[in-house]
Amino acid sequence: MRDNARTITVLGLVVGAIGIGVLWAAGVEFPVAIPPGIVILLAGALLVGLTRCWWWSPGVGAFLGLFVAVGWAISPTGWGNLTGGAGGAVALGQAIQLIGVLTALVAGVTATVRQRRARVAA
């Protein structure tokens, strides 16, 4: 069975990682050499994409999307980055990141619920 919601979850996580890459390229400072968010989101995308036998794995993608979105919302620089206070490139990167992780959140929840229901019905 094709699972578009799972695929969209993976794509959302990858887009979120690309957004972090744009933030990094735009000069946003991160605590270590490679932004940890890139590694975490790509690892999550691999997990969700490669573990189709586990009904719950899209939930990991949803959790990562929620985690990054909440982190952005409570960050003192989150809104400023999005509204262009730190420059246009930073605003673009922040928008890309948010679009990706919010997509992963919604699609991950959708995929997890669908797969759980299919498992119970079987």
pLDDT digits (tens, 9 = 90+) for 55-114: 899 999 999 999 999 999 999 998 999 999 899 999 999 999 999 999 999 999 999 999
pTM of the predicted model as reported, rounded to 2 decimal places: 0.92
For the chain, the residue count is 122
Report the mean per-residue pLDDT for the chain.
Answer: 93
> Taking 90 as the threshold, does the pLDDT of residue 18 lie above it?
yes
Which pLDDT band, with edges at 50, 70 and 90, does 2 fall under?
low
Which stretches of the chain are DSSP H helices? 4-25, 36-50, 57-74, 78-82, 88-121
Mean pLDDT of 38-50: 97
CA dihedral 58, 71, 40, 14 (to 10 degrees): 60
